[in-house]
Amino acid sequence: MNYSALKSSSPCLGVSFSASLRTGALRRHLAAQLISASKSTRRWRTTIRTSYSASPLSRILPITQLNTGHQKLLNPVQFRPLHSSSPHLFATESTAIPSRTIMGSLPDTAPVVRVFIAGGSYAGLSAAVNLLDLGDGLSPRMAREPYTHHPSVPKVKFEITIADERDGYYHLIGSPLALADSKYAKKAWVQFKDIPSLQFPNVQFVQGLVSSVNCDAKTATVVDNITKEATTHQYDYFVTATGLRRVWPVVPQSLTRKQYLLEAEEQINALDGAKDGVVVVGGGACGIEMAAELKLVKPHLKVTLVHSRDKLLSSEPLPDECKDKSLELVKESGVEVLLNHRLAGSTKVESSDGSSRYEIEFTNGHKMVASTVIMALSKSISTASYLPSSATDSEGLVKISSNMSFESSTPNAASHFCAGDVAKWSGIKRCGAAMHGGHFVAYNIHQSVLKQFADHTPKFQELPEIPPMIGLAVGKNAVAYGPDEGVIFGPEVMEAYFRDDLGWGICWDWMQLGGRKPKVKTQETNSS
């Protein structure tokens, strides 16, 4: 289980490495490679590395480091080839992708392939950075094994457009801490313009809402956040990675970093003045982490977690041992827990000193007061309403095959892919699975391009069924569950799965958003 429990609101990766370009010489080399003959000539991303290094997945720490079976725990998604002979069409006036003469290191015959990625979070950014690697003739940065490029198509000129409502990458897993600590809040949101691995002329960002996708014509329409003007983008491949829509305060609702920081600060100030305590409603993963993180950051606060069922995590297909251990750790963190308490309602009233508080009533008759009530039980909603109905199920989740392309009921299904929470697939929604899926999408797009241009039989990466697995940060401890290792918990689990920043550094480093790591060589090609 490579990221053994990266629920969309809970991370579980245990990798550690620097994610920056480390030498001035390397920076100068990259700059030199991007020089073109004229301003009108598009410059392309080029990287040179010296030796292949293992994927971060191979370096994920076992939680206890006591048995070698951890490899199974860390790798829920295995690499299995899936051969396909389905036709692949492209969004051009002819059936061939155009190639254009570009000065630089890419060969003149390299095909130009337009990829439109809807969503700039874990799945979308993972797909983008791995596509950039493959286009440069490198192994994708998340690959566990060297990637063999085809001699006829050693490089591909990927033109990547990333559309997102936000102006940056927000570390969703860190929300419990971002909405409690001002310093961390600034770290959790990085504007797209400040992500080094995506600062290339062949990567374009569009801030807006994807309103519709015509899979038959291969066009995507985006409504600009500010001007409200609609623009249409043609593509050869489309990647759905917009995830699920979650409400405040599970995630911030702001669309710009500036607005988000104001939103977070307002929430933090309200918590600081919560003299009557805070009630968190909902004993799922989100509620558990929010309550425990709040108590850790602000130990003076009275924090109460209330849940309508007799066990926490009641909606998740997890063993009772995991649920019971989660309850134990929540209580150890100093959070009061009320089980079998279903919220009937809350009323905001003014106190005699001018402050406000909430009078809370439960269906069992119990009453209490609190300065703040945090609702952490809302159902997440699909964001894929822009797709044709043939592409989604009754809940709006995207129907995909094991190679992550759309099911055949959608026109040009082989040119449309989906990764992340909005995909209809087994397993608990996790950011680790989203990043892994983005890597697979990039790999399979490149294989499809080789089929078009090199008479190559694609060997797609295929997703197996994923069993339930989860990991939760609970104050200074964490609890995790996987089918092979069972339930594990403690501060060492917290360090391996989350470090000290709720997985921000783990996710940033694994996608290498600070720059592709050195010592990764270009793979030799063969004729297979």
- 400 and 363 fall within a common domain: no
For residue 430, name the pLDDT band (cuts at 50, 70, 90): confident
Take residue 499 and report the two structure tokens written for it: 């470090």
Residue 293 domain-assigned (yes or no): yes
CA distance 425 to 105: 40
Dihedral-angle region of residue 242 (phi above 0 means left; psi in -120 to 50 means alpha; beta otherwise): alpha
CA distance 277 to 73: 39
Stretch 470-478: mean pLDDT, rounded? 96
Q: Does the structure show a pLDDT above 90 at 175?
A: yes
Residue 515 domain-assigned (yes or no): no
CA distance 419 to 414: 14
Radius of gyration of the chain (CA): 24
Residue 78 domain-assigned (yes or no): no
Q: Name 396's bridge partners.
A: none
For residue 519, name the pLDDT band (cuts at 50, 70, 90): low
pLDDT of residue 2: 37
Model-level pTM? 0.79
- 426 and 362 fall within a common domain: no
For residue 108, name the pLDDT band (cuts at 50, 70, 90): low
- 390 and 440 fall within a common domain: yes
Take residue 234 and report the two structure tokens written for it: 């043609």
Residue 76 domain-assigned (yes or no): no
Distance of CA 351 to the CA centre of its chain: 43
The 8-class DSSP code of residue 522 comes to B
Contacts of 222-229 with C-beta under 8 Å, sequence gap 24+, read: 222/163, 225/165, 225/255
Which pLDDT tens digit goes with each residue over 206-226? 999 999 999 999 999 999 999
pLDDT of residue 109: 79
Q: What angle do CA 214, 215, 217 make, to 5 degrees?
A: 70
Stretch 160-168: mean pLDDT, rounded? 98
pLDDT of residue 379: 78
Q: What angle do CA 509, 149, 114 make, to 5 degrees?
A: 70
Q: Does the structure show a pLDDT above 60 at 311?
A: yes
Stretch 129-142: mean pLDDT, rounded? 97
Please report, to the nearest 10 degrees, the dihedral formed by the alpha carbons of residues 210, 126, 16, 146 taken in order. 180
Q: Does the structure show a pLDDT above 80 at 245?
A: yes
CA distance 182 to 187: 9
pLDDT of residue 518: 76
- 227 and 295 fall within a common domain: no
Listed in sequence order, the DSSP H helices in 333-402 are none
Which pLDDT tens digit goes with each residue over 17-73? 223 323 333 333 333 333 233 333 333 443 333 333 333 322 232 222 323 333 333
Q: What spatial distance separates the first Cα and last Cα of the chain, rounded to whole Å?
A: 31
- 302 and 234 fall within a common domain: no
- 315 and 332 fall within a common domain: yes
- 317 and 394 fall within a common domain: no
Residue 486 domain-assigned (yes or no): no
Residue 38 domain-assigned (yes or no): no
Q: Which residue has the tokens 């950039």?
A: 132
pLDDT of residue 64: 28
Which of these three, 332, 349, 375, is where a domain ends? 375
Q: What are phi and psi of 346, to 5 degrees?
A: -140, 145
Reported residue count of the chain is: 528
- 166 and 231 fall within a common domain: yes
Which of these three, 319, 349, 375, is where a domain ends? 375
What is the span of the domain harbouring residue 403? 112-171+191-246+380-466
Sign of the Cα torsion 443, 444, 449, 451 reads: positive
Which of these three, 375, 393, 423, is where a domain ends? 375
- 220 and 284 fall within a common domain: no
**Total domains in the fold of the chain:** 2
Residue 220 domain-assigned (yes or no): yes
- 349 and 238 fall within a common domain: no
Please provide the average confidence, as pLDDT, over all residues in the chain: 82
Stretch 171-200: mean pLDDT, rounded? 97
- 235 and 124 fall within a common domain: yes
Residue 242 domain-assigned (yes or no): yes
- 166 and 282 fall within a common domain: no
Please report, to the nearest 10 degrees, the dihedral formed by the alpha carbons of residues 141, 147, 153, 158 taken in order. -20
pLDDT of residue 429: 87
Instruction: Specify the CATH number for the domain of residue 334.
Output: 3.50.50.60
CA distance 461 to 452: 18
